[in-house]
A and B are shown apart, each in its own frame.
Chain A
Amino acid sequence: DAGVIQSPRHEVTEMGQEVTLRCKPISGHNSLFWYRQTMMRGLELLIYFNNNVPIDDSGMPEDRFSAKMPNASFSTLKIQPSEPRDSAVYFCASSLTRTKNIQYFGAGTRLSVL
């Protein structure tokens, strides 16, 4: 299995630009999670989906952030407009309910907003 695949691995953009992060979960997994990791705040849950439906988006910092999961094999996290404080590593993880919800992480996207 290829694992959770995220793209791009690195993104450098200017303040005000739109940023789209992509994630392909492990085939067959029914839950998908977006996390953000910074030195100051650690690993924070932004949103998670179960069977393509958003279940908890309470971690989404503000309206500039949005996430979609149009099908079981693809999800996006969009930031518009981006700000320097959005600079962080964004991880996507997936899990399967019947295997104790063990989450497997992608390699992450390192976002730098200048």
Chain B
Amino acid sequence: QKEVEQNSGPLSVPEGAIASLNCTYSDRGSQSFFWYRQYSGKSPELIMFIYSNGDKEDGRFTAQLNKASQYVSLLIRDSQPSDSATYLCAVKNTGRRALTFGSGTRLQVQP
């Protein structure tokens, strides 16, 4: 079992819709959770991070964390074609500074 699991996609949504990206993790002691966006041929860039159960909003992005279910999600409201990218979920495990990354979900926003 992979430590961080994501559906590889592609997830296709129409422009203006809400895109919902999901991630599950296996280490129950995980403390911090990150969403990175990676455009084709580019490096990962941080979009959001979340540490506490519940929702965290930043502009069109909302991260949701449920530690009991070991589940973290990213919602993108009013999706734009420029949001088309691969979204990587990353988890900081107990006692490590390094992050464990999921394989990423490819999002396609159709104009």
Chain A contacts to B: CB under 8 angstroms: 31, 33, 42-45, 48, 50, 55-56, 91, 95, 97, 100-108
30 pairs, CB–CB < 8 Å, chain A vs chain B: A31-B97, A33-B99, A42-B101, A42-B102, A42-B103, A42-B104, A43-B88, A44-B101, A45-B98, A45-B99, A45-B100, A48-B97, A48-B98, A50-B97, A55-B97, A56-B96, A56-B98, A100-B49, A101-B92, A101-B97, A102-B46, A102-B49, A103-B34, A105-B43, A105-B44, A105-B45, A106-B43, A107-B42, A107-B43, A108-B43
Is B32 close to A, CB under 8 A?
Answer: yes
With A91-B43, A102-B49 already in contact, 16 other A-B pairs whose C-beta atoms are closer than 8 Å: A31-B97, A42-B101, A42-B104, A43-B104, A45-B98, A45-B100, A48-B98, A95-B97, A97-B97, A100-B32, A101-B32, A101-B97, A102-B46, A103-B46, A105-B43, A106-B43
Most chain B CB inside 10 Å of its own CB: which residue of A91, A100, A103, A107: A103
Categorize the interface residue count of chain B: 20 to 34
Complex CA gap A41/B14 in Å reads 29
Complex CA gap A64/B72 in Å reads 37
Q: What 0/1 readout, one digit per residue, does chain B (23-66) give for beta carbons within 8 Å of chain A?
A: 00000000010100000001111100101000000000000000
* Residues of B with C-beta under 8 A to A95: 97
* Residues of A with C-beta under 8 A to B100: 45
Chain A, residue nearest B45 (CB): A105
Chain B, residue nearest A91 (CB): B43
* Residues of B with C-beta under 8 A to A31: 97
* Residues of B with C-beta under 8 A to A33: 98-99
Most chain A CB inside 10 Å of its own CB: which residue of B32, B96, B99: B99
